[in-house]
Amino acid sequence: MTFVYGVCGACGRSVRRNSPVPITIVCDCYRLCPLCGGQMKPYTPTLPPRAYGNEDSFEWDPLGLAEKCGATSETLYVCRNHQPPYYSTRRPVEVELR
C-alpha cells in the first residue's frame, strides 16, 4: 500500500491516507465552529421555509442596510456554545488525494 496526500482548499489541513489508488474524501472542516472549534450540530428550522426572509432579494432589503445575522433558509449547521448562536452555511469540501 502507498500513501495518498491532499490539502483541503477551505481550511488548509493536510490529509494523508493509506490507499493504492487516488481517492476523493470529504474534509470535516465544515462541521467545526470557526469561533470555538467545537463540533456544530445540524440545524433544524422550527418554522416553515416560507417564514424566513430572502436576504438576497431586493424587495426584502432595498437599501442593503439590514443586518445579516440569525438563521436563514440556507443555514445548515449551528453552534449553540455562543450567545447568540453561530449559524453556518458552509458546505462539505471534497479533497482529492493523489
Domain spans of the chain, in order of start: 3-97
**pLDDT level of residue 75 (50, 70, 90 thresholds):** confident
CB of 11 closer than 8 Å to CB of 27: yes
The CA dihedral of 54, 46, 88, 35, to the nearest 10 degrees, is 130
Q: Is the dihedral of CA 69, 70, 74, 78 positive or negative?
A: positive
Check whether 72 has a pLDDT greater than 80.
Answer: no
pLDDT in tens, 20-69: 899 999 999 999 999 999 999 999 887 776 666 555 565 656 666 655 56
Phi, psi (deg, nearest 5) at residue 28:
-90, 15
Q: What is the pTM of this model?
A: 0.71
- 79-92 burial, b at 16+ Cβ within 10 Å, e below that, comes to beeeeebbbbeeee
